[in-house]
């Protein structure tokens, strides 16, 4: 049944308009084309992610005559050249599946930047330019989740270093940076892709679309976890004079053995509410067997966090761990406002300088986690690097005299570390790698650049 209220999916219209007329412009006699995707920024360690998800989304269902008809109508009305024979050929000879092969570095593998992460190739003399036609869609499917996973590698390793110095256990580390970004990104698909990428290094997320995507595309029962948490609509519905009632209702409902309960406190007076938890509700918290997490969203967190830690320590006491840092009993703290890599580590360093274990504070991040990134952060590009002519692969490369940094690689870029991920075989397009998120996590967290 067609849903006339939803834009139909059409793979061949997921490109830039100027590419519609490109096929006849390549040199005559070209029978194959090869391109690659890399992050051109030097000195970085990339965590490739997203190719498997992209292939499942875009290549495992064939294009149809209806897709071609829409493409033809669109291009005519859009005022650009079209080439329906190109796609009718794919429909006839490849049953509507894309006739190229994709290789990629196994997802999660730490890889030096300026190394090809993806290679794509077509050797059909009629439609080999499909490689360049797909640049927009494929590059978008790689640069964004790879950027999120790469940034999270830095977050994870920085936190891990702090935990090595100041914590007795890494148990909390996978949950130390929680994804709050569902409302801070531009679309549901962004939440899916970016939210799934965050789960390569961390396991805490409130971005349901991202968790579902990771579960579905990466063969895992449950990729991410969350906890009971309140929000301002709950706190503020009690009004400024009934905050004791608010806290009591939350604790009565959810403070159970082994539970984690995050309570937002800054609706009115975060210090007053913090002190209420450690006085009126102290015995209930201790006896509940739950861990109660204070969430002081508003204000100067570099001043507020030390105040709250002092209150918590005075109310609930602490244990000294083997590294000589204090671990406060029964309660914790989450900072979920203004968090990026730099502010997170500023807080961690401050907390440790005050004698507290880094696990005393965990973090939530929104738009700065999944939204404040761009393709140029790591200089992502897809470039054609070889064409097949007279049965010989010939180098293709870009070498602008005005910007040597944009010189591209030449030749076929199928590196030894790559695996074949997609191919037209047996009459259809097939996914040749179907990794679980567990395997990708193991690569990301255990593979050293020395092993590559």
Beta bridge partners of 431: 422
Residue 212 main-chain phi, psi, to 5 deg: -60, -40
Which of 125, 134, 110 lies closest to 54, judged by CA? 134
H helices present in 289-366, as ranges: 301-316, 341-353
Which of 177, 171, 183 lies closest to 154, judged by CA? 177
Residues in the chain, overall count: 452
What's the whole-number average pLDDT of the chain?
96
Mean pLDDT of 3-26: 95
* Confidence (pLDDT) at 2: 63
pLDDT at 222 over 90: yes
Mean pLDDT of 48-58: 98
For the chain, give every residue range classified as CATH 3.20.20.70.
146-370
Strand ranges for 199-250 from DSSP E: 228-229
For the stretch 147-190, pLDDT in tens is: 999 999 999 999 999 999 999 999 999 999 999 999 999 999 99
pLDDT at 450 over 60: no
pLDDT at 76 over 60: yes
* Confidence (pLDDT) at 1: 54
* Confidence (pLDDT) at 451: 42
Q: What is the pTM of this model?
A: 0.96
What's the CATH number for 11-144+383-433? 3.20.140.10
What's the CATH number for 146-370? 3.20.20.70
For the chain, give every residue range classified as CATH 3.20.140.10.
11-144+383-433
Query: 63: how many CB neighbours lie within 10 A of its CB?
Result: 21
Q: Using CA atoms, how far apart are residues 395 and 28, in angstroms rounded to an integer?
A: 16
């Amino acid at each position: 049944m067609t849903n006339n209220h939803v834009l139909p999916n059409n793979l061949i219209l997921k490109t830039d308009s100027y590419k519609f007329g490109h096929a006849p412009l390549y040199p005559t006699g070209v029978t194959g084309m090869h391109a690659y995707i890399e992050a051109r920024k030097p000195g970085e360690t990339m965590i490739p992610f997203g190719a498997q998800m992209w292939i499942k989304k875009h290549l495992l269902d064939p294009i149809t005559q209806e897709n071609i008809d829409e493409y033809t109508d669109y291009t005519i009305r859009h005022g650009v050249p079209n080439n329906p024979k190109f796609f009718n050929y794919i429909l006839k000879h490849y049953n509507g599946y894309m006739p190229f092969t994709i290789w990629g570095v196994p997802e999660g593998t730490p890889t030096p930047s300026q190394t090809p992460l993806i290679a794509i190739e077509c050797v059909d003399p009629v439609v080999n330019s499909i490689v360049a036609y797909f640049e927009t869609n494929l590059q978008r499917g790689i640069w964004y989740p790879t950027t999120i996973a790469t940034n999270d590698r830095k977050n994870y390793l920085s936190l891990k270093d702090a935990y090595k110095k100041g914590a007795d256990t890494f148990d909390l580390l996978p949950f130390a940076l929680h994804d709050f970004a569902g409302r801070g990104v531009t679309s549901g698909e962004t939440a899916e892709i970016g939210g799934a990428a965050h789960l390569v290094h961390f396991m805490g997320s409130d971005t349901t679309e991202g968790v579902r995507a990771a579960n579905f595309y990466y063969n895992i029962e449950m990729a991410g976890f969350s906890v009971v948490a309140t929000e301002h609509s709950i706190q503020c519905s009690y009004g400024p004079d009934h905050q004791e009632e608010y806290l009591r209702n939350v604790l009565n409902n959810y403070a159970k053995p082994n539970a984690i309960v995050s309570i937002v406190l800054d609706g009115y007076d975060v210090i007053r509410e913090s002190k209420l938890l450690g006085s009126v509700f102290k015995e209930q918290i201790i006896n509940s067997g739950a861990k109660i997490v204070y969430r002081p969203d508003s204000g100067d967190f570099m001043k507020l966090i030390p105040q709250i830690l002092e209150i918590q320590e005075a109310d609930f006491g602490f244990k000294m761990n083997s590294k000589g840092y204090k671990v406060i009993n029964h309660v914790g703290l989450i900072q979920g406002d203004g968090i990026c890599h730099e502010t997170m580590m500023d807080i961690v360093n401050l907390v440790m300088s005050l004698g507290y274990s880094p696990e005393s504070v965990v973090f939530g991040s929104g738009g700065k986690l999944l939204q404040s990134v761009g393709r140029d952060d790591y200089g992502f590009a897809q470039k054609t690097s070889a064409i097949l002519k007279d049965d010989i692969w010939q180098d293709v490369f870009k070498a602008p005299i005005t910007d040597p940094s944009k010189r591209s690689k030449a030749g076929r870029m199928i590196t030894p570390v790559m695996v074949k991920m997609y191919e037209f075989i047996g009459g259809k397009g097939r996914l040749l790698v179907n990794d679980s998120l567990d395997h990708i996590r193991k690569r990301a967290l255990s593979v050293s650049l020395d092993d590559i």
